[in-house]
Amino acid sequence: MSDSGGTPVLRAPGHQVSPRAIPFWTVSALVGDALLVIAATLAYVLVPDAPGWVGLVVLLLGVLAVVHVLVMPRIRFRVHRWEVSDTAVHTREGWIGRQSRIAPISRVQTVDSRQGALMRLFGLASITVTTASAAGPITIDCLDAEVAREVVARLTAITAVTEGDAT
């Protein structure tokens, strides 16, 4: 029992994700937001007789996009943390909301690693650990590709020796 001394709190997982995650998130947010803002601006310019307040909305959208691109990756880098102990996987993620996920390694069913084209450019990889529950997959986003390989190898080694059908 850990609730003997004071109120129990969940401590942050031990490791941060790769620092290269910040430029990666910036670039992917930039691409998405730029498309959205350009589309909105084009629509505003091309549609004749659009009332003035629509222009304000488009402007607001642009400002929000800039804030999103500048702020989100930094907050996210501070929040995202992960840890793989001998018995459990623990991650924390989010930037407005916050999610902590814990799964016992004995119940892990698959360990996947994924590397998109943009992630490869930044030398990053993501790991997804699934359990028998559809609500339970745990993703460790944007690890250093080298670290990701080690973690996958370690997880696979541990899960290989666990018995049972993990339900």
Partner 1 sequence: MIPVPGDGWVRLSPRKLLLDPVKAIGQALVPVVVALVGVSQSDMRWWPYFLPLAILAPLALGAIPWLTTHYRLTEAQIQVRSGLLNKTTSTAPLDRVRSVDLEASLLHRVLGLQKVQVGTGVDDDRITLDALAAADAQALRTTLLRRRATQPAGDPALATHPSEPLDGLPPTPQPAPVLLARIDWSWLRFAPFSLSRLVILAGALGVFSQFADNLPIWNEETATSVWHWVNRFAVVAVVAVLSLGALVSWVVVAVGGYVVQWWNFLLVREHGSLHLTHGLFTTRSITVEEAKVRGVRLTEPALLRVVGGAELATLATGVEDGVTQVLPPCPRDVAVGVGGAVLESSGPLTFPLVEHGPRARRRAWFRQLRGALVMAVVAAVAAWWFDVSWAWVAALAVALLVVAALVGEAAYRHLGHTLTDRHLVAGSGELARVRTVLETDGIIGWVFAQSWWQRRIGLTDLVATTAAGDERVLVRDVRLDVAVALADRATPGLLTPFVEAAS
Piece of the chain touching partner 1 by CB under 8 A; list 9-17, 51-59, 62-70, 113-121: 9-17
Nearer to partner 1, 133 or 156 (CB): 133
Terminal CA-CA length for the chain = 25
Among 70, 71, 132, 153, binds partner 1 (CB under 8 A): 132
Nearer to partner 1, 88 or 145 (CB): 88
Are 21 and 123 contacting, i.e. CB atoms less than 8 angstroms apart?
A: no
Nearer to partner 1, 49 or 86 (CB): 86
What minimum distance in Å lies between the beta carbon of 93 and partner 1? 10
Q: Map the footprint of partner 1 across residues 73-112, applying CB under 8 A.
A: 83, 85, 87-88, 90, 94, 96-104, 107
Beta strands across the sheet bearing 81-84: 15-16, 81-84, 88-93
Are 143 and 154 contacting, i.e. CB atoms less than 8 angstroms apart?
A: no
Q: Map the footprint of partner 1 across residues 28-67, applying CB under 8 A.
A: none
Distance of CA 115 to CAs 31, 54, 83, 127, 150, Å?
A: 18, 39, 20, 9, 15
Q: Please name the helix (run of DSSP H) or strand (run of DSSP E) that holds residue 88, with its range, or none.
A: strand 88-93
Among 111, 138, 140, 155, binds partner 1 (CB under 8 A): 138
Angle between helices 21-46 and 52-79 (to 10 degrees): 170
What minimum distance in Å lies between the beta carbon of 160 and partner 1? 18
What minimum distance in Å lies between the beta carbon of 39 and partner 1? 26
Distance of CA 118 to CAs 3, 25, 68, Å?
A: 44, 10, 19
10 binds partner 1 (CB under 8 A): yes
Q: Which parts of this chain interact with partner 1 (CB under 8 A)? A: 1-11, 13, 83, 85, 87-88, 90, 94, 96-104, 107, 131-136, 138, 165-167
